[in-house]
Amino acid sequence: MSQIVGINATHEVWIALERNFSTVSKARFMQLRLQLQTAKKGGQSMLKYLLKIKKIADNLSTIGEYVTK
Chain segment 5-42, per-residue pLDDT in tens: 566 787 787 787 777 777 767 888 999 999 999 999 99
Q: What is the pTM of this model?
A: 0.66
Cα–Cα distance for residue pair 45/49, rounded to 1 Å? 6
Q: How far apart are CA 29 and CA 41, in angstroms?
A: 22
Measured CA to CA, the distance from residue 14 to residue 23 in angstroms comes to: 14
Coil, strand or helix: which one is 42?
coil
pLDDT of residue 5: 59
Residue scoring higher pLDDT (46 or 25):
46
- pLDDT for position 12: 81
| Res 45 pLDDT > 80 | yes
